[in-house]
Amino acid sequence: MPFLLNAVSDAEGHYRDLDSPESALEELDAGRDRTVCLVAQEPTEEEMRACARRFELHALALEDTAHWRQRPKLERYGQTLFVVLRPARYDQDAERMEFGEIHAFLGPDFFIVFTEHPAGSDRVVHWMRRAFKRRNLEPQNPQTLLYFLLDGVVDEYEPILEALDEDLDEVEEQLFTGQNASQRIYEMFNEVVKFQRAARPLGHMLELLMRGGGKYGVSEELHRYFRDVRDHVTRDVEHLDSLRSALQNALTIEATLVGQRQNDAMKKLSGWAAVLIAPTIIAGIYGMNFEDMPELGWHFGYIFAIGLMVATSFGLWAVFRIKKWL
């Protein structure tokens, strides 16, 4: 897969797009105070080995890059920083989270990004071009490029949280209209948990970046921008925690409502059973055909028995109706 971005920036904040990573590396070797930025989608093993040789990337970091499905993390190998991020997309119609994966390597004069999907690569390229246009933040500094990468990933979380809020409102409305929402709540709960796994580590990662800012060339202004991203992450994580709690409460309420509906159904069944059992008992007694039973020879015995059945059933029905069992 060809590299989607081969850019070089200098100390004055100017950058140039080049045709190939080899051209970018030649520019890097030709002058000082230059930074190369490379973005590739699913690089081949040969491309990764070439980058590892040129920039002295650690073998453990390359092993993680060769095997996707990593958790978000930040690891330092000497002068090289290895960062894993999980950008997210939310399919609101299917109510499913879709996670990409971004692996970034940054050192004193390079910033290399490997992505898993084409959409992720296009977004990274867009974020890097934004960084190059912000000369006040020293775009030749790889830490600045990392900020724009983190900021882009975190900014995409906000509309997802809004969509989840809308789905939660629908679930709450569905709960109290008598519809069965158990499966939908459980599936949404799982999606929120996945989202938490992608977002929660970012707060700790940003804390580590800010602690080492002075040692690794992070200016005071850039430090403020990192702090802003950390604040957004904290807000998003708190939002996810509230969503998770709301969904847990919704599951509890759904279980309570299901139990209540089952209880109401049992009341109705019990009430109708009592209404029907009374005439059955009376008919059973008068159907025994004993010779010495009272009222067997009475002229109005049949009418009396029928009337007793109707009166008893109606009385029980009225009682259960008052108690709202029927």
Distance of CA 146 to CAs 135, 181, 199, 263, Å? 15, 42, 16, 58
Q: What is the dihedral sign for C-alpha 13, 16, 22, 27?
A: negative
- What three-state secondary structure class fits 42? coil
Domains of the chain: 1-132 (3.30.460.20), 259-322 (1.20.58)
CA distance 17 to 13: 13
**pLDDT score of 292:** 66
**pLDDT score of 46:** 84
- What three-state secondary structure class fits 103? strand
pTM, to two decimals: 0.79
**pLDDT score of 193:** 94
Burial bucket for residue 251 (CB in 10 Å: 0-12, 13-18, 19+): middle
CB atoms within 10 A of CB 129: 16
Quick one: tokens of 70?
């990593």
- What three-state secondary structure class fits 75? strand
**pLDDT score of 238:** 96
Series of mean pLDDT values for 10-residue runs along the chain (326 residues): 78 79 79 82 84 88 85 90 92 88 91 82 88 81 91 94 92 82 89 94 90 71 90 95 92 80 77 79 73 68 79 82 75
